[in-house]
Structures are given as C-alpha cells and as structure tokens.
Structure 1
Amino acid sequence: MFSAPRNLPKTLTLEPYIDQQAHGLPDKGRHIIGQFDDDSIVVYQAYSPSIATYAVEHQRFGSSSFSFDRMSWIKTSFAWMQYRCGWNTKPRQERTLAIRIKRDAFDSIVADAVGSRFIEEVHGTKENYEKIKKASEVRRQWDPDYKPNLEFTRMERRAIQLGLRGNTLRRYATEWIVSIEDITPYVEEMRTRLQQAHNPVAIWVPVERVYKEENKW
C-alpha cells in the first residue's frame, strides 16, 4: 500500500485511489461527483501563480489578473481538473485551487445553468435556446471524465463543468466561498508518483461521491 502524501491538503479529505474504485462510482452517465458535506462542496480551478496567490491570501478572487468580464469555469471532478491543466504543467494553469463553496450557492448555480447544446425537447426552437442562453449567467457542459493518470484515460462517465459570468461569477468569487487552498504541492507529488509508478494505484485522491445524478439537463 502506498503511503499517504507528504503534502496533505488541509481542506480536503483524501483516500487511496484503489479505495475510491472500491466504492463503485458509476462508469457511465452524467453525474455530479465531488467532495461535499452538509454545508459545502469543493470545486477546482487552475490558475497562474499571480491569480492563485491573491486568491489564497484574500480568500476571494479579484487580483488585477482576474477578469470579471469573461466566463470562469468550475469543476467538481479532481481528475478532470488534472486532465485539463496537465497536472499543473500547462501555461497559466500552474496552480490548482481547491475552492469550497456554500452548498446552497452551488445548487443555485446548477439550477440556473443552461446546457451548452440545443435540445429540442427542452428548448423548443433554436431561437428560443439562443435567447435563454444569452440571458443566463451559467453555462453547463458535460465532458468525458478521466482516470487520474498521465495518459488521460477517457471514461464513458461524464463530468460536469459550469461556466459562470456576470453577477453569478462575482458572487461566487467574493461571497459564496468558504475557503480557498492551493493544493499544488500535493498535485505535484501525485504527478511524480505517477511518473515513477505508471499506475494510478500509487496515488491518493480526494474522496468523491455522487452528489447528484442527471435529472433533466
């Protein structure tokens, strides 16, 4: 059994990846899977050092490098976040932040979200869909989830990604945050383990369970 990370996050609960597999998370379908408790849920974002440093120091976003005029995307899947940022190797994504936000705020974000694609049974006409999308401050996207390895093994299961803009982004960035932790040292340690072992059983991952199954997106 591989030992626990030396660089343990303070705000996350971890478990060996092999234990997460044993919990039988769904292999298919659209599910919100993440780490949560009765009051909060963790979302992930990867940023440049300047944005991440400000966010951790102030426990909110708002540095001169952070723009409130563009859409900002949050993810609940740790593995998907590492796929997106290449385990913190991509430019301007060198730091992973674990952002714990209020659960009722997250629920309101999901409720307000408009899907990234037109569905006739839901939206009626494409014209109506465009109006709804233009009025909404939250975009919902379902992307293939990934196993936490360096080969980025795609799964049939879909992970949620939520794009925020306007007042919703501002409230998320300044009001709804419970804590922000820079977990980059832990991410880098797990990346090194994967490079050495070439197997995800070598790593520990955030405890993640099904938060919400697909209803009618």
Structure 2
Amino acid sequence: MEHPQREIRAAYADSTITVYQAYSPEIGLPAVREGRFPATWKRDRMTWIKPSFLWMMYRCGWGAKEGQQTVLAVEIRRDGFEWALRHACLAGYARGVHPDRAAWQRQLKASPARVQWDPERDLHLRTLPYRSLQLGLSGEAARRYADEWTVSIRDVTPLAREIHALVGAGDPDSAARLLPRERPYPAGEELLAHLRE
C-alpha cells in the first residue's frame, strides 16, 4: 500500500489518540498505577511523544534500553494533540517553510511544541520509505499533556516483548496481528501545512 511521504498514523478513537513513550520503571510504573504522570516526571523538560508503536520500539529497543524499560501507551485527548500541532514548529530549518534560518530559530524558541518526521520502521525495525511524526512538548504543552490531556496510561511492555519474541522466532505474521491498529489520522491541511518539510 502506498503511503504519503509524511503522514500521522495512529490508533485513535472519536475523542482520543494513543501515543507512546518509554521510561525507567521508577517513572513508568507509578504513571501506570496512578493513571497520570507522577511528581517526579519533569514538567519543565522537553518530552517526545510518538503515535507510531514501531517507531517507539525502534527508539527504546523493544523496552530493553536503559531508562526505557517501561513502554507506555498514553491515551490523550485529540483536542490537546491538535492544539500541540497548531502551536508546533519544525525541529529543523526547512527552506520554503521558513523565510530564513533566523525566523525559524525565533519560531522554535517561541513554540511550546516541535515536530520531527522520522523514517517509519517495520517489524524488524528497518527504515521504511515514508516518515512518521514525533511530537516534542515543552513548557505549556508539556504541562497540558501531563495534567489536562492525559486520559489513561497503560503498560504495553509485555506486548512489546511478545511481538519482539515472535519476530525473533521467525513468525512475523503472528507478530503483525498483535500490533496496535494504526490508521491515517484525519489531520487537515490547516493542522499540518506549517509542518511540512
């Protein structure tokens, strides 16, 4: 199936979208238990959320990387996610999107969110020829994410391990059946026009 070069693909419902993050057990497990990020979660730091499960698996090594052993599926409000997109800036300078590098740097400094389009991954974590969204949240956006937008937090580490084991055992079909069902997110042009590279 042909994919657009840059597209948000995600598991979503009428009012929520699922994004993924990975943390140490000291942060991840209390977040799951309480259904919200604990006080130890730094609201003043940039945090990156990923709608793509397999991109998260690439980033955290199926939950094996130090400090990323607890993989979280964070269900957040779609209106919050879209607020972040509206207030985001591209993480890198893009000719044709920004008048010049100085204008991009000013916009980046003023924006509470930033977007990177990174190569999507397959079950073997190899790069695919199209890109997926990473959304960085800082300042107001990070606080809203933690305290207003988050609806639920689930531990999907066992799922990540099960899928990884099936891939390792040479059974990619069974592994693929366990993947979250991600589909193109209905983000209109007004949401993404300023975020195209």
Q: Same fold (TM over 0.5)?
A: yes
Q: Which residue of 2 aligns with 1:114?
A: 89
Q: What do residues 2-45 of structure 1 show as CA deviations (whole Å, max 9, x unaligned)? A: xxxxxxxxxxxxxxxxxxxxxx4x44500000001111100000
**Greater length-normalized contact order (CA 8 Å, ≥ 6 residues apart):** 1
Q: Which residue of 1 aligns with 2:157?
A: 184
Q: Which residue of 2 aligns with 1:168?
A: 141
Given that residues 73 and 164 in structure 1 are in contact (C-alpha distance below 8 angstroms), is that contact kept between their aligned partners in structure 2?
yes
Q: Which residue of 2 aligns with 1:72?
A: 47
Which residue of 48, 51, 54 corresponds with 2:30? 54
Give, in whole Å, the separation in 2 of the partners of 1:201 and 1:43.
Answer: 24
- The number of equivalent residue pairs is 189
Q: Which residue of 1 aligns with 2:65?
A: 90
CA displacement at 1:194 relative to structure 2:
1.4
Q: Which residue of 1 aligns with 2:180?
A: 206
Given that residues 40 and 100 in structure 1 are in contact (C-alpha distance below 8 angstroms), is that contact kept between their aligned partners in structure 2?
yes
SS of residue paired to 1:169: helix
TM-score (norm 1): 0.82
Give, in whole Å, the separation in 2 of the partners of 1:62 and 1:113.
Answer: 25
The aligned runs of 1:149-168 (5 Å cut-off) are 149=124, 152-168=125-141
Given that residues 44 and 78 in structure 1 are in contact (C-alpha distance below 8 angstroms), is that contact kept between their aligned partners in structure 2?
yes
SS of residue paired to 1:202: helix
CA displacement at 1:122 relative to structure 2:
2.2
1:212 to 1:143, Cα distance in 2 relative to 1, 3 A? farther
Between the aligned residues of both structures, percent identity stands at 40
CA displacement at 1:56 relative to structure 2:
1.0
Matched, 1:126 2:101: yes
SS of residue paired to 1:56: helix
Let me know the Cα RMSD of the aligned residues: 1.5
SS of residue paired to 2:133: strand
Give, in whole Å, the separation in 1 of the partners of 2:3 and 2:100.
Answer: 32
Q: Which letter does structure 1 place at the counterpart of 2:183?
A: R
Q: Which letter does structure 2 place at the counterpart of 1:44?
A: Y
Give, in whole Å, the separation in 1 of the partners of 2:3 and 2:127.
Answer: 11
SS of residue paired to 1:159: strand
SS of residue paired to 1:207: coil
CA displacement at 1:131 relative to structure 2:
0.8
Give, in whole Å, the separation in 2 of the partners of 1:165 and 1:206.
Answer: 27
Give, in whole Å, the separation in 2 of the partners of 1:156 and 1:31.
Answer: 12
Q: Which letter does structure 1 place at the counterpart of 2:92?
A: R
Given that residues 98 and 182 in structure 1 are in contact (C-alpha distance below 8 angstroms), is that contact kept between their aligned partners in structure 2?
yes
Q: What do residues 57-89 of structure 1 show as CA deviations (whole Å, max 9, x unaligned)? A: 22111332x222221000000010001111011
Given that residues 77 and 159 in structure 1 are in contact (C-alpha distance below 8 angstroms), is that contact kept between their aligned partners in structure 2?
yes
